């Protein structure tokens, strides 16, 4: 079955296209730089360890690349990386830049509903930096 991005994930962010085997999205939340990595794999695969060895290695490499981009491009005190999926089951990985000044600190972003859409200018600025990096 061809890969189809989950509608809820798609609606929540900007689609930055494919990197390696993954669709990359920037969540439309200017409170935290927050990327969503969606491996373009069979929808029956809902856990990281269910990826075959080659896909697992590839997805992990993409996570490493995006984390490096976040470190370089944003001022982050800490990077949080997580595969949760309790609600949206399509396999996806969160990579979030955290700072002591953000409203959820030191808690996790998944239990906090602070949200502020990006301005068009900010979204374009991040997209441009992303495109220069990959």
List of residues 6+ apart from 34 with CB closer than 8 A: 26, 27, 94, 95, 96, 97, 109
Binders of a copy of itself among residues 22 to 41 (CB under 8 A) are none
CB of 84 to a copy of itself, least distance (A): 5
- The verdict on 57 binding a copy of itself (CB under 8 A) reads yes
- The verdict on 67 binding a copy of itself (CB under 8 A) reads yes
**Residue 91 has which token pair?**
């396999």
CB of 119 to a copy of itself, least distance (A): 27
Label residues 73-112 b or e (16+ Cβ within 10 Å = b).
beebeebbeebeeeebebbbbbbbbbeeebebeeeebeee
Which of these ranges, 9-17, 33-41, 42-50, 126-134, lies near a copy of itself under the rule CB under 8 A?
A: 42-50
Asked if residues 109 and 34 have their Cβ atoms less than 8 Å apart, the reply is yes
- The verdict on 8 binding a copy of itself (CB under 8 A) reads no
Q: Which of 42, 85, 127, 129 binds a copy of itself (CB under 8 A)?
A: 85
- The verdict on 47 binding a copy of itself (CB under 8 A) reads yes
Asked if residues 109 and 97 have their Cβ atoms less than 8 Å apart, the reply is no
Instruction: Write out the residues near a copy of itself by the rule CB under 8 A.
Output: 46-49, 56-57, 60, 63-64, 67-68, 71, 78-87, 89, 98, 105-108, 110-111
């Amino acid at each position: 079955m061809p890969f189809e991005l989950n509608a809820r994930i798609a609606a929540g962010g900007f689609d930055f296209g494919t990197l390696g085997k993954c669709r990359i999205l920037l969540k439309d939340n200017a409170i935290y730089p927050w990327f969503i990595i969606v491996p373009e794999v069979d929808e029956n695969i809902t856990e990281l360890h269910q990826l075959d060895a080659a896909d697992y290695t590839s997805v992990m490499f993409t996570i490493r690349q995006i984390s490096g981009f976040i470190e370089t491009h944003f001022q982050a005190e800490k990077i949080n990386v997580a595969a949760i999926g309790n609600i949206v089951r399509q396999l996806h990985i969160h990579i979030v830049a955290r700072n002591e000044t953000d409203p959820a600190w030191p808690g996790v972003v998944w239990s906090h509903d602070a949200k502020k859409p990006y301005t068009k200018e900010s979204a374009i600025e991040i997209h441009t930096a992303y495109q220069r990096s990959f």
